[in-house]
Amino acid sequence: PTGAGDSFAGGFLGWVARCGRTDGGMLQQAMACGTTMASLAIEDFSPRRLAETGPEEIARRVALLHRMVHFDLEPLSYLRGGRGLAAPSHVGREARSRPWQRRWTLC
C-alpha cells in the first residue's frame, strides 16, 4: 500500500470542502489537487514527502499537471463496444476525425 488513494481522496475532498460548491470546473480542480497529492505520496516511504510539502510546491505541481495532462473522452466509446460518448457539439467534424488535436483543460 502506497497511500496514493487516501492522498487522492484527501486532496480531492479537501478542495471540495474549501470551495464549498460542486460545479464542473471545481470538480476538475479537485481531481487535479487529488492527483497532485497522490503523486507526492508515492515519492517517499511513509507520509514524509507529504509532511514536508508546502502550498507553493503543491501549486507548482498542480500547474505542471495542468500543462501536461489533456485527454479525450472519445476512446471510451470503444470500451463499451459502440459509439458511446460523443464529442461535444462545439467540436467540428474535422477535429472529431483527429482526436489527438483536441485538448481538455483541467482548471
50-94 pLDDT, tens digit per residue, is 999 999 999 999 999 988 887 655 555 555 565 545 545 554 444
Integer Cα distance of 35 and 58 in angstroms: 11
Give helix 4-19 / helix 24-41 axis angle, nearest 10°: 150
pLDDT band at 107 (very low <50, low <70, confident <90, very high): very low
Higher pLDDT, 107 or 1: 1
Q: What is the pLDDT of residue 77?
A: 58
pTM: 0.64
Residues whose CB falls within 8 Å of the CB of residue 18, separated by 6 or more in sequence, listed in order: none
CA distances from 27 to 14, 15, 18, 20 (A): 11, 9, 12, 11
Integer Cα distance of 71 and 85 in angstroms: 13
